[in-house]
Amino acid sequence: MFSPHARGTDQILKWETEEDIGKWQPRKARKGEKEHDKESDVDRELMAKAASRPGRAIMLLGGENGWGGKRSVEVLDLQESRAAGWAACPPSMKSSRFAFGAAHNSGSIYVMGGESLLLGGSKSAERFDYSSSSAKNWTVLSPMKKKRQWLGCAVLNDSIYAIGGSTDTVEFYDIHTNQWHACCPLKNGKRSGLAAVSLEGLIYAIGGKGEEGILSSMESFDERRGRWEQHASMLSKRASLGAVVVDGKIYAIGGTYKKLGIHTKMEVYDPRKDQWQEGVPMLLPRRSMAAVADGQKIYVIGGSGIISAMSSVHTFDTTTQTWTEEANSIMEARNDAAAVVVD
């Protein structure tokens, strides 16, 4: 079976069932696979630059505004003039979703889990092959092993990881076999409302809410070692936050820190120093928003303040270190939506 390629070792880790968690079954690297103990600084720089190349469009998916989950999709073209703003982008997803995971990989958008009407989460997953001219509808995929809502989602080595979501379990989707596989559980227990990103061969799980309340902790998963490792905690506790990667650094944005307490704060993590520092605060407090990065610009889309769902879009230029309110809002106010940048 296919397993995620673990760069930096001659062994690949895989978990066949939940009973296999904590055990790993090595295999020899396939012919042509690179074997490095660690990536060089040049490799890291190239990876950071590749992650910061401009995309073609932002796709905004699902969410809710007090009336249950949405199926609809909106798009913002990043290459043409933005004067036209956001537009409806058929087809809609097959299932209504909010508080779900979304990822973009190899010309396809993947969505999984989430809620429709607060029924305890979902196992369902679907895919849209936007790069295929023959694709007209979303395709239903094999369901996850666990129901998940307010989960984290990230892509690593052609595998889609679903992380936490009112649980400490993790699983990954094999895009070649349409199968989900159990993975090593989170180190620090259950997390919901977390953010997840991939950076330099690791997946980071950031913040969220655990059994003892809102978290500031962060941990990363390394396929080569098959375990989660602790990193420096954020300066502030955050759940329902946004997180993106720009130039090899993680930006943690907004979120809630207590009941009715919503951040304007942003902070920035440097993995080389294992250190967080304060960033430029947002123009408005915001949680449960969609956040993506395109080149040097971060987009914070929708979400909610203290009272209701928002339709505004704010951007942060990491070069000039300034926030701007975009002239064009999204078509429908949404919180707990997801967004991806497509090439």
CA distance linking residue 44 with residue 50, whole number of Å: 10
* 121 φ, ψ (degrees, to nearest 5): 90, 175
Tokens 């990989």 belong to 105
Strand, coil or helix: what is 84?
helix
CA distance 248 to 271: 8
pLDDT reported for residue 114: 96
pLDDT in tens, the chain (343 residues): 222 333 333 233 333 343 444 433 333 333 443 433 333 444 444 334 434 444 689 999 999 988 789 999 999 998 865 667 999 998 999 999 999 999 999 999 999 999 987 777 999 999 999 888 777 899 999 999 999 999 999 999 889 999 999 999 999 999 999 999 999 999 999 999 999 999 999 999 999 999 999 999 999 999 889 999 999 999 999 999 999 999 999 999 999 999 889 999 999 999 999 999 999 999 999 999 999 999 999 999 999 998 889 999 999 999 999 999 999 999 999 999 999 999 8
Distant-in-sequence, close-in-space partners of 51: CB < 8 Å, separation ≥ 6? 199, 245, 246, 248
What pLDDT sits at residue 259? 85
Q: What's the distance, CA 197 to chain centroid? A: 5
Measured in whole angstroms, how far is the alpha carbon of residue 241 from the centre of its chain? 11
3: left (phi over 0), alpha (psi -120 to 50) or beta: beta
State the residue for tokens 């993995």: 271
Q: Order of strands, edge to edge, in the sheet holding 202-206?
A: 195-199, 202-206, 218-222, 227-231
Give per-residue burial for 144-173: e unless 16+ CB within 10 Å, then b: bebbbbbbbbbbbeebbbbbbbbbbbbbbb
From edge to edge, which strands make up the β-sheet containing 87-88? 87-88, 73-77, 57-61, 338-342
- Please report the sign of the dihedral spanned by the C-alpha atoms of residue 32, residue 33, residue 38, residue 40: positive
Helix (H) / strand (E) containing 257: strand 256-258
Which bin fits 84, alpha (ψ -120 to 50), beta or left (φ > 0)? alpha
Angstrom distance (rounded) from CA 21 to CA 82: 47
Would you state the structure tokens that stand for residue 115, as one six-digit string? 């809620």
